[in-house]
Amino acid sequence: MDLLFLIEKLVLGVLIVAVSFIVAMYATYVERKVAGFIQDRLGPNRNGPFGILQPIADGGKLFFKEEMMPATANRFLFILGPGISMGTALITSAVIPWGSPITLFGHTFQLQMADLNVAILYVFAAVSLGVYGIMVGGWASNNKYSLMGALRASSQMISYELAMGMSVIAVVMLSNSLSLKDIVAAQAGWHWNVFIQPIGFLVFLITAFAECNRHPFDLAECEAELVAGYHLEYSSMKLGFYLFSEYINMFVSSAIMATLFFGGYSLPLLDGLGLGPNLLALAGVVVLFVKLSIIMFFFMWVRWTLPRFRYDQLMNLGWKALFPLAIVNMLWTAGVVAVRGFH
Amino acid sequence: MAINPITSRSKQVVKLRQSFIERIYLPAIVSGLAVTIKHFFMKKVTFSYPEVVRPRAPVYRGMQVLKRDEAGAERCTACGLCALACPAEAITMTAAERKPGEEALYREEKYAAVYEINMLRCIYCGFCEEACPKEAIFLTNRLVPTEDLRKNFIYGKDKLLEAKPGELGTGAALGTVGAVDVSLRQTPEVLAFKKKPGYAHNQLYGKAAGGTAAGGHA
């Protein structure tokens, strides 16, 4: 039984990591396509039909690039930085429920690595660790521009984590649980948190943009202003790891957003179809992926629409607008919950 | 005012405090998103070049062609006027004397043994065509194909010369049989204008030049 459990989790883990990589890979392709379409161009369309082999060509190019390391860099930390970035991006997905359980050969398989009863705390812990990847990489490069880029990135991420946490507390209070599975269950029927908690969702969305270092908050590497930000000294696949982990972060935060605010793998319409439990579980996985794809598209849509915030505007928005808004939202929700009870 | 304004168009900059609506950004962001999603579904302006060729004017100034006369003899006499006229200095040539028995190959006693145009230098202005007194060089609406070596862009006679009547073209003229059609660039009006005695390069020869060189194979 223990061995079966181990194999089950191993298979699921490998599957989730593989899916994360594939989604991140094709997110780069879709991002370029979306950029092209929004700018009235076609985007990459030369590698394979519709250019779908483009990410493979990009990855191959990065592998063949020359590996450079500054002579004065801290060798160990310099290599560790991209690893931390990638690792923290991947481990966050462990608590996301991808679907309802599947029963095969009399055994029930959970489509979730770990149903932690403190899943939200785990997510925030993992997201906070992401700062280390950036900070360590920027610092170990031993280059003042890298260090300043890392400082910009980490102060931004730390500032926005607070508001993000506050906005999620309201969701937790409504569901009366920290487990993501229970939060999904609480949203069954059209009781999606996005309708109950629009302000909380808005704050979470904006802070998620900032946490992922995406436009309009990509001050960590802003192309036009800095040379490159924290990964200035990185090249080859180490740079690829940093860029890739950004897309994995985007994927995971889209999945978390879909879980917290859009009912996760549940869709009220599915219940009326009369599917068996296994088919329903698979349909739930598809539903979750459709939801997170729409959110990821929104990420890209925003990137090619908005200009970048100035650094003082970023800090103003984070501390003077989003943080108080999240607290007010939390207190208001707490009041309602205290009077009416959960749901 | 003590100081006279330099221009009458200067405007007083008014720095108004942003309204609440402006400060929460969201209405502006939504309208911006509406603009970009509209463009997302718009028709794309890109021409996927090798498969889809952007329409060009029939008198487009593209790759040059060296013409032959009706009998298939080369018209170029290597006078060098095209090279002289070329603002990009893209044309070079080496002249040679026609030997007895080569009358079918070359129209006049002197011909270009080597005639090269550097297509990377050429700016397709058409001055060579304008300068040529023998109607030997024309710009066509064909495009210069891409190459991955610079030296391949130096086009010699093998690529510039059109095919003999009834033969298949070689080099860059591959696919066209016989003469390259330049009738749209060389209308009777253009020819008449070119032979006008008042035209600078016709003055040296006077009326005689206009008489003998009026080949005209359009």
- The verdict on residue B13 lying in a domain is no
Query: Is the Cβ pair A305, B36 closer than 8 Å?
Result: yes
Q: What's the CATH code of the domain at B146? A: 3.30.70.3270
Residue B119 is predicted with a pLDDT of 95
Low-confidence ranges of chain A (pLDDT < 50): none
In whole angstroms, what is the distance from residue B136 CA to residue B80 CA?
Answer: 12
Closest CA to A242 of A63, A78, A76, A81: A81
In whole angstroms, what is the distance from residue B64 CA to residue B161 CA?
Answer: 9
- The verdict on residue B104 lying in a domain is yes
Residue A5 is predicted with a pLDDT of 86
Please give chain B's pLDDT, 218 residues, in tens: 566 777 888 788 888 888 888 888 899 999 999 999 999 999 999 998 888 888 888 889 999 999 998 888 999 999 999 999 999 999 999 999 999 999 889 999 999 999 999 999 999 999 999 888 888 999 988 888 888 999 999 999 988 988 887 777 665 556 667 778 888 888 888 888 877 777 766 666 544 444 444 444 43
B92 DSSP β-pair partners: B116
Domain ranges of chain A: 2-340
Our CA-based measurement puts residue A296 at a distance from the nearest CA of chain B, in whole angstroms, of 15
- The verdict on residue B98 lying in a domain is yes
Contacts of B24 in chain A (CB under 8 A): 321
Residue B23 is predicted with a pLDDT of 83
Residue B172 is predicted with a pLDDT of 54
3-state SS assignment for residue A28: helix
**Residue of chain A with shortest Cα separation from B40:** A38
Contacts of A37 in chain B (CB under 8 A): 39-40, 44
Nearest to B44 among A41, A301, A321 (CB): A41
- The verdict on residue B43 lying in a domain is no
Our CA-based measurement puts residue B27 at a distance from the nearest CA of chain A, in whole angstroms, of 13
Our CA-based measurement puts residue B53 at a distance from the nearest CA of chain A, in whole angstroms, of 16
In whole angstroms, what is the distance from residue B201 CA to residue B130 CA?
Answer: 10
- The verdict on residue B38 lying in a domain is no
Query: Is the Cβ pair A306, B46 closer than 8 Å?
Result: no
Contacts of B37 in chain A (CB under 8 A): 38, 301
If one counts the domains in chain B, the total is 1
**Domain span holding position B197:** 64-212
B174 touches chain A (CB under 8 A): no
How far out from the chain centre does Cα A334 lie? Answer: 27
Query: Is the Cβ pair A301, B29 closer than 8 Å?
Result: no
Our CA-based measurement puts residue A82 at a distance from the nearest CA of chain B, in whole angstroms, of 33
Residue B164 is predicted with a pLDDT of 82
- The verdict on residue B217 lying in a domain is no
- The verdict on residue B152 lying in a domain is yes
**Residue of chain B with shortest Cα separation from A202:** B26
Contacts of A38 in chain B (CB under 8 A): 36-37, 39-40
- The verdict on residue B19 lying in a domain is no
